[in-house]
Chains A and B, each alone.
Chain A
Amino acid sequence: MTKGQTSTMTGAQMVVQALRDQGVDTVFGYPGGAVLPIYDAIFQQNEIKHVLVRHEQGAVHAAEGYARATGKPGVALVTSGPGATNAVTGLTDALMDSIPIIVLTGQVPTFMIGSDAFQEADTVGITRPCTKHNWLVKETDKLSGVLHEAFHVATSGRPGPVLVDIPKDVQFATGEYTKKTANKSRYQPKLKGDIDAITDLVKAIEKAKRPVFYTGGGVINSGPAASQLLRELVDATGFPITSTLMGLGAYPASGDQWIGMLGMHGLYEANMAMHDCDLMINIGARFDDRITGRLDAFSPRSKKAHIDIDASSINKVIRVDIPILGDVGHVLEDLLKVWKSRGRVTDRENVAKWWKEINTWRKIDCLGFKNSTKTIKPQYALQRLEALTKDMDRYICTEVGQHQMWAAQYLGFEAPNRWMTSGGLGTMGYGFPASIGVQMGHPDALVINVAGEASWLMNMQELGTAMQYRLPVKQFILNNERLGMVRQWQELLHGERYSQSWSEALPDFVKLAEAFGAKGILCSDPADLDDAIMEMIRHPGPVLFDCLVEKHENCFPMIPSGKAHNEMLLGEASTKDAIDADGAVMV
């Protein structure tokens, strides 16, 4: 080892040093007995900010929000036992959505492991299935190497959460600290795609009569350059593009070729295009069941290409004709090169016909809804929020439920990393702490969490965090006094038996805000909405916006259970006989 690469320090100091070397400026955490040495080391420095959350789940979601909004890994620090178990939901959420985060947990001293010591939990055992990788570090000399490797694993290939469990004696002991550059990891995922497969895709692009780009979270994961290349490819080919919930913003919503989100609550034109296309180009999406619907009816006549960095995503759900293993950015770069060198060919005539067809689907106006002058329709609330904020430096988070789907439908995203939502796990309680993480990463931006009242209550304690750090996050609660998404399913599938799906004994949200020293705004009249939203935006601190909306609104379009893409339910359409008996088992 070269001189100057190592130095002696305690394990706790190593943690802080490694974070510094990795360029970390913010840590979300909560102290406890097993991490006190690390907290002591944090106390004695000023470079890394520590945000004290109110619950460890909040710390992990905040780290996720921070990561998604900044493109840098998020870091959370929690204690052993209950601190670690409280982190499990956030870890699983990050695993499902491929978010790079590093969670550091304290552990009982090595010589007490296995003795049912106070606040002992088998943290690496519990989190093995919900992390990309995890480590229990038993020697201080190995700590810095593991920490650097943890950052490498979390951020390379398909990103994901990692966890490092550090026993208290390892934090106290002194050892050799090794710099980031000193060790080369074995883990080196392949970034460049096979050029023959890429050429096959180019040939398919040249011949396609009814092509569609189906893009996903992988484009966001690949970084802003990938979004740029995607835009170039889409614009140059003139093909239509749709995206999953996780990929919104990679291609701008204002772009001419944007046909909206696809899937269960996606747009009619997007789903029809997927169903009727002859070439589907999947870029960084994983054929989730919210997208495919009934598998044997999924896009039956198309040739399918799939660009993904994770070999297990390819052919997992849908068999594809042109698999390309690699990073979106790298593959798109080569794809563009090959396509250009072969003369930039597309079947313009047929693609123009295809657009005509798509434009007739667009005319259906599937997001149309019956507005009201008496009650605020949730769709209207979001339309107004969009109109009043779209030109601002804006980041949107959501909770989970109907409001999440409406936000995806009615808000437009022009750039990647501006949309933070829990897609794969669907974690109610994600949005509020995530908005705190986003605001930490972008202190001057407008950060809005579009929430349902039930989801918001799941991590409402974080209002204390927002106040303490003066984070002006806007909590835009579409309050229907219902577990709306559950109620919708019960209405459609369970004979209107509304079992436990209403929000009773709700707090007075304005008073709740005030109890924390925040601002509360109540709005129930559509005529007041614009002013109220502007008041929320202008307020320099955290705002709890209680927007009382129509209680029984359903979220459409919707692909009913057990149906194919071209059998979609539309807003005002009759749902009579739309879902057959077998569909009721779906969740």
Chain B
Amino acid sequence: MSPLKIKKGSSSHSAYNLRDPNAEVIERHTLAVVVENEPGVLARVIGLFSGRGYNIESLTVAEIDHKGHSSRITIVTTGTAHIIEQIRAQLGRIIPVHEVHDLTVEGAAVERELGLFKVAGEGEKRVEALRLADIFRANVVDTTLKSFVFEITGTPEKIDAFAELMRPLGLEEVARTGVAALSRGSVSES
């Protein structure tokens, strides 16, 4: 059999469909994952995202029920509707995962994040930082003659906006918790 004339280096498509068939609109979703609080469970969740190439914009985790050994992981992720559906299903396969909720599709939800901002400056800049912090309802949790540490709670967008404003005013360090989220209303209502 004679070989086929193959142009070298071509990779636009193949039986592996190198063109991403799911290249559609990218959505941002907040997932709440209730897990058994056991060693390695966070590694399983994170490993799933890295192993399958999903995005993590933010991830928070803490125990929510000591007696019931459960923790809640809140993940903000992006992807096409199809990818988000896969992420949900893949999370559901993890044995110690008890519940997966897509808060973005399951109705209204509140999202909050906490940020700590260290801002150093003197004179006008210092006054302006304090004034803006007041507008954003940030608290001063530490102060020296040359610096403040502000504590701010809100949506990620609000914290982003605050960070933008602090940058020219001497922003030195930022620590953010990532998003915690709950659906609105009572669970029993819905």
List residues of A whose CB falls within 8 A of some B CB: 124-125, 128-129, 132-133, 136, 153, 186-187, 264, 289, 293-296, 310-312, 314-316, 491-496, 554, 559-563, 575-579, 581-587
Which of B7, B51, B86 interacts with A316 by CB under 8 Å? B86
Identify the closest chain B residue to A318 (Cβ).
B21
Which of A186, A310, A496 interacts with B3 by CB under 8 Å? A496
How many angstroms from the CA of A561 to the CA of B17 in the assembled complex? 10
B15 part of interface (Cβ distance < 8 Å): yes
User: Which of B126-152 touch A at CB < 8 Å?
Assistant: none
How many angstroms from the CA of A575 to the CA of B21 in the assembled complex? 28
Inter-chain residue pair count (beta carbon < 8 A): 105
B187 part of interface (Cβ distance < 8 Å): no
Task: Mark each residue of chain B from 36 to 77: 1 if its CB lies under 8 Å from any CB of chain A, else 0.
Answer: 100110011001000100000000000000000000000000
B4 close to A492 (CB less than 8 A): yes
- With A310-B93, A494-B3, A554-B1 already in contact, 4 other A-B pairs whose C-beta atoms are closer than 8 Å: A125-B43, A136-B40, A582-B10, A586-B14
B25 part of interface (Cβ distance < 8 Å): no
Given known contacts A294-B17, A582-B10, is B95 in contact with A153 (CB within 8 Å)?
Answer: yes
Identify the closest chain B residue to A490 (Cβ).
B3
CB distance from A575 to the nearest CB of B (A): 6
Identify the closest chain B residue to A581 (Cβ).
B7
A582 close to B47 (CB less than 8 A): no
> Can you give 7 contacting A-B residue pairs, CB < 8 Å?
A128-B44, A294-B13, A296-B21, A312-B93, A491-B1, A494-B3, A584-B7
How many angstroms from the CA of A293 to the CA of B98 in the assembled complex? 36
How many angstroms from the CA of A125 to the CA of B89 in the assembled complex? 22
B82 close to A315 (CB less than 8 A): yes
Chain B contacts of A583 at CB under 8 A?
6, 14-15
Given known contacts A289-B16, A562-B13, is B4 in contact with A579 (CB within 8 Å)?
Answer: yes
B12 part of interface (Cβ distance < 8 Å): yes
B172 part of interface (Cβ distance < 8 Å): no
A136 close to B85 (CB less than 8 A): no
How many angstroms from the CA of A579 to the CA of B1 in the assembled complex? 13
How many angstroms from the CA of A435 to the CA of B21 in the assembled complex? 40
B17 close to A582 (CB less than 8 A): no
B15 close to A586 (CB less than 8 A): yes
Chain B contacts of A312 at CB under 8 A?
86, 89-90, 92-93
A493 close to B4 (CB less than 8 A): yes
Task: Mark each residue of chain B from 148 to 165: 1 if its CB lies under 8 Å from any CB of chain A, else 0.
Answer: 000000000000000000
B95 close to A293 (CB less than 8 A): no
B39 close to A293 (CB less than 8 A): no
Chain A contacts of B175 at CB under 8 A?
none
CB distance from A443 to the nearest CB of B (A): 35
How many angstroms from the CA of A108 to the CA of B139 in the assembled complex? 50
CB distance from B159 to the nearest CB of A (A): 33
Chain A contacts of B92 at CB under 8 A?
311-312
Chain A contacts of B15 at CB under 8 A?
264, 289, 293-294, 559-563, 583, 586
Chain B contacts of A491 at CB under 8 A?
1, 3
List residues of B whose CB falls within 8 A of some A CB: 1-8, 10-18, 21, 36, 39-40, 43-44, 47, 51, 82, 85-86, 89-90, 92-96, 98
Which of A264, A293, A295, A581 interacts with B6 by CB under 8 Å? A581
Given known contacts A310-B93, A311-B89, A312-B92, is B3 in contact with A585 (CB within 8 Å)?
Answer: no
Chain B contacts of A128 at CB under 8 A?
40, 43-44, 47
B4 close to A575 (CB less than 8 A): yes
CB distance from B131 to the nearest CB of A (A): 50
Which of A124, A559, A581, A584 interacts with B40 by CB under 8 Å? A124
Chain A contacts of B98 at CB under 8 A?
186
Identify the closest chain A residue to B17 (Cβ).
A295
Chain B contacts of A310 at CB under 8 A?
89, 93
CB distance from B171 to the nearest CB of A (A): 37
Chain A contacts of B44 at CB under 8 A?
128
How many angstroms from the CA of A310 to the CA of B89 in the assembled complex? 8
How many angstroms from the CA of A587 to the CA of B18 in the assembled complex? 12
A577 close to B4 (CB less than 8 A): yes
Which of B14, B47, B95 interacts with A187 by CB under 8 Å? B95
How many angstroms from the CA of A293 to the CA of B3 in the assembled complex? 21
Chain A contacts of B89 at CB under 8 A?
310-312, 314, 316
How many angstroms from the CA of A47 to the CA of B156 in the assembled complex? 61
How many angstroms from the CA of A296 to the CA of B22 in the assembled complex? 11
B4 close to A132 (CB less than 8 A): no
Which of B7, B14, B95 interacts with A132 by CB under 8 Å? B95
How many angstroms from the CA of A519 to the CA of B25 in the assembled complex? 63
Which of B6, B12, B14, B95 interacts with A495 by CB under 8 Å? B6
Chain B contacts of A576 at CB under 8 A?
2, 4
A586 close to B6 (CB less than 8 A): no
How many angstroms from the CA of A576 to the CA of B4 in the assembled complex? 6
Most buried by B among A136, A187, A316: A316
